[in-house]
Amino acid sequence: MQGFWAKWKKWIVIAGVVIAVVGLGYWGIKAVLGGDSEGKLVMVVKPVTRGDIEVTVWGWGTLEATEEEDAISGAAGIVKDIYFDVGDEVVAGQPLAFVDAGSIEIDIRRKEITLDLLRLELAKAFGVTPEEVATVDPEAALVLKAPLSGRVEGFTAEVGALVPSPVCKIVDNTTLKSKFLLPKSLFDKVSVGQSASFACDRFDGAISGVVTKADPTPIAGESAYYYEVEVEMKNPGLLKVGDTGQITITTPTGDVQEKIEVTGYGAEETVNTPFTGKIKEVFIKEGIYVKEGDPILELEAGDALLKAMEKQLEYKQAVLELDELRAQLGNVNIVSPIDGVVMTKNVKKGQDIAKGTVVAKVSNFTEMNLLLNIDEMDIAKLAEGQTAMLEFWGPEGRQQVEGTVSKVGVSGSVGKGISSFNVVVSVTNPGFLRPGMWASAEVYIAKKENVLLCPVEAVYKEDDKWMVDIKEGDERKPVEVEIGAMNYTYAEILSGLSEGQEVVVAMSKTNPEEGNSQPYYPY
């Protein structure tokens, strides 16, 4: 602590001199020039010199780690193993403890069964696949939409009436299908992809088609086996199911011709609703052509919908609970959240802990902060980025480490009539620093080179003017000066003095009886 007390002693002495001189001023000193019965006063002088001056702000504070996090248990259970102790160095992700959370697996299985049942129930209620249950909009389900583009068939719904089941059928009649049987002799010539044409008495010419199916599975007839062939054809708009005509299939070994009947359309789908209730609005008519996604009708909201919405909320909540359980199962290993040193150990083996229990606290000392309280008179001098020299007492005695001002407080706190501000100095840990250590910091504010310097103890203030007393013969003469930078030793003189002039820094009292002299400070 030698460096600590030396610095404090220096600061106290200098501060006392400056305060006394500034406070009493010129007239306080002048009052003792006449001496007394015990001796006389003589001037103690120092010269005005030229040199460098460095302005600093000094303070004390404590160190803290810049990164500190808790290792938290992600699952409730019994602490089965502990792999750390206070003071251990750890890395992020390193296991610190293991929690036996065996009951979670049972809870997960129960929740999965509950979800499966809810999923099937909702899929039926909304008329969607189980995979769509989580995303379906219940209110949107009240509006029935066309599942494909095509012509509306069998639509009889009316506003105010109960919704029929089925509601209607949507038929894509732009494509026709025909399924027919061929004997083996003709079937052997046919293959999928072959071109076909269809002629009908209802129009002149023929329409084009293609073989889409040639099933080699024999079908027994009265006297022979037959095989099913399917052809798709473009509908010019005139044909419908039940129309008959002749199909001609072009093959490498000659045309295959057969009398056939149109048996279906390219696509068709029956429209149903999972909800019962009255029809609120109708958007289509029988026989019109609709596009996929066009609205068909809207139902009024009923009890069935409300119950389905409640079930959907129940389903979503169960999904969240299952995700949480699975996360807990994956968190039976409690790991270090960061690289660092273990500071606390809060559990013991065999302890029953809850989810969220803080098992340990880990601090990273690589980068540290020194927290300073700076007097209101000095705070305006500080700014982020300024260099600071930190002084610690380490294993090898007094040690210095360079740091940087990283934060300057904007509001102060008052204590004992004095305002102080928080200042943070960041420092890279050389290895021996720990949270809670005390240190001093000298922040470098400014440095001026080759300037005129006057001893700070010679400077005083009078009527808001900076003054010094210069020696002229056996007399002292007050001189107004302009002050620049100032530290605990020197004041920069901008005007009023010249190099080599002698300024009065104190008075020496001479004792005529003893024939000696000693420094005399009248304040």
Q: What is the full per-residue pLDDT of the chain (523 aa) written as tens digits? A: 333 333 433 343 344 444 444 433 333 333 334 444 455 778 899 999 999 998 888 888 999 998 999 998 877 778 888 999 999 999 998 989 988 766 666 777 788 888 888 888 777 766 677 877 777 776 667 788 898 999 999 999 999 999 898 999 999 988 999 999 999 999 999 999 999 999 998 878 899 999 999 999 999 988 899 999 999 999 887 888 899 999 999 999 999 999 999 999 888 899 987 677 789 999 999 989 999 989 999 888 766 667 777 777 888 888 888 887 776 665 577 889 999 999 999 999 989 888 889 999 999 989 999 998 888 888 888 889 999 999 987 677 888 899 999 999 888 788 777 788 889 999 999 888 888 889 889 898 888 999 999 999 999 999 999 999 999 888 899 999 999 988 888 999 999 999 999 999 988 765 444 444 444 443 3
Q: What share of the chain is helix, strand, coil (3-state, %, to 5)?
A: 20, 50, 35
Instruction: Give the separation between CA 440 and CA 436, rounded to whole angstroms.
Output: 13
What structural domains does the chain harbor? Answer: 2-48+459-520 (2.40.420.20), 168-270 (2.40.30)
Amino acid at 159: V
Instruction: Give the separation between CA 523 and CA 521, rounded to whole angstroms.
Output: 6
Which segments of 27-147 are extended strands (E)? 40-47, 49-72, 77-82, 89-90, 95-100, 143-145
Instruction: Give the separation between CA 458 and CA 54, rounded to whole angstroms.
Output: 18
* pTM of this prediction exceeds 0.85: no
Answer for the pair 52, 432: CB distance below 8 angstroms, yes or no.
no
Taking the CB of residue 446, how many other CB atoms lie within 10 A of it? Answer: 14
